Each structure stands twice: as C-alpha cells, then as structure tokens.
Amino acid sequence: MGHSSFNLAPSRKLYNAVRGGFVSKGTTLSKFCKSIQVNPQNALTCLIGSWNGPKAQKLRAQLIEASGITNNPISNAADHTTPAAAAITTPEAFAYWGC
C-alpha cells in the first residue's frame, strides 16, 4: 500500500477517511460490510481502535484497501485535505485542481 504520509493508525479520522473512500467510489462502508458479511459496527470499532485484536487488524487492512484511500493523493497529504506540495507540481495535477 502506498500510504507514505497518511496515518493508518486506528482513529476516528481513519474511520471517516475509509467512509469517504467508499463514498468516492459510489458506495458506502455499510454496503461493503454487508457484501463481505461483516457487521458495520465491527467495522467502526476496528477502524477507531476500540477492537484491535488480530481479527480486527485483518478487517481494518481489508477495509482500508477496499476503500481506496491509500491510492488517493488527497488522503496522502499531510493535512488530509489537499495534495502535498510535491504532488501538484505536474501539469496534470495543476489541471486536476483547476489551476
């Protein structure tokens, strides 16, 4: 996974990022959970870290991967809201951000 500066440690921010990743793909975390037969509450608790055993860690990795947040330049930014300065130096990146 390419998550150089994105903090993937369990937290409320990680939960929100994963939810946002699914929304950006046109689905929801709950729908994904149902498709893999996981209770959405278990997804929440493993992503925020209140459930953190081996099964939770495996589910967390699966959710992060499926959400696509590790491939998102916005998520990889240090402040999680805009691309890192190095990421917007190409003409394609400037066009993407409307510069």
User: How many CB atoms sit inside 10 A of residue 27's CB?
Assistant: 14
The region, left, alpha or beta by phi > 0 then psi within -120 to 50, assigned to residue 80 is: left
- Position 10 pLDDT exceeds 80: yes
Q: Integer distance in angstroms from the first to the last C-alpha of the chain?
A: 29
- pTM (global) more than 0.75: no
Give the tens place of pLDDT for each residue, 52-80. 999 999 999 999 999 999 875 554 444 44
> Dmax of the chain from CA atoms?
45
- What ranges do the domains of the chain cover? 12-96
d(CA 27, CA 5): 25
- Mean pLDDT, rounded, for 77-97: 49
